[in-house]
Copies of this chain bind each other. A is one copy, B any other.
Amino acid sequence: MEFKAYIKLKQELVNNYLEQCLPAADHYPPTIHQAMRYSVFAGGKRLRAILALASAYAVGGEPETILPIAAALELIRAYSLVHDYLPAMDNDDLRRGKPTNHKVYGEAIAVLAGDALLTLAFELLTSPALTTVIAPEQQLNIIRRLSQAAGSMGLIGGQVVDIESEGKQVDVPQLEYIHTHKTGTLIRASVMLGGLAANCSEKQLALLCDYGEKVGLAYQIIDDILDVEGESETLGKHTGADANAGKVTYPAVWGMKQAKSQARHLIAAARQDLEPLGEKSSRLKEIAQFIGRRKS
Which residues of A does B touch, CB under 8 Å?
23, 27-29, 31-33, 36, 79, 83, 86, 88-89, 106-109, 111-112, 114-116, 118-120, 122-123, 125-126, 131, 135-137, 139-141, 143-144, 147-148, 150-153, 156-157, 159-161, 163-164, 177
Contacts and interface: CB of A to CB of B under 8 A. Distances in A.
A137 B147 contact: no
B152 A32 contact: yes
A190 to B, nearest CB: 16
Each complex incorporates copies of this chain amounting to: 2
Contacts of A148: 123
A88 B102 CA distance: 10
8 contacts: A23-B153, A29-B157, A32-B152, A83-B115, A88-B111, A119-B156, A123-B148, A123-B151
Contact of A28 (B32, B136, B156, B157): B157
Contacts of A116: 151-152, 156
A204 B79 CA distance: 37
Given A147-B126, A148-B123, A32 B156 contact: yes
Contacts of A36: 152
Contact of A119 (B111, B150, B161): B150
A115 B114 contact: yes
A140 B126 contact: yes
Determine chain A's interface SS by DSSP, over half rule. Answer: helix
Given A29-B160, A136-B140, A161-B29, A152 B111 contact: no
A139 B136 CA distance: 9
A292 to B, nearest CB: 30
Contacts of A147: 119-120, 122-123, 126
A139 to B, nearest CB: 6
A140 B139 CA distance: 8
A112 B156 contact: yes
Nearest to A139: B140
A204 to B, nearest CB: 22
Given A109-B160, A137-B131, A120 B29 contact: no
A150 to B, nearest CB: 5
A145 B150 CA distance: 21
A108 B120 contact: no
A112 B159 contact: yes
Nearest to A80: B115
What 9 A-B pairs have minimum CB-CB distances, sorted nearest first? Answer: A88-B107, A136-B136, A123-B147, A126-B144, A116-B152, A119-B151, A29-B160, A32-B160, A122-B122
Contacts of A33: 152
A115 B118 contact: yes
A29 B147 CA distance: 17
A117 to B, nearest CB: 9
A122 B143 contact: yes
Nearest to A102: B88
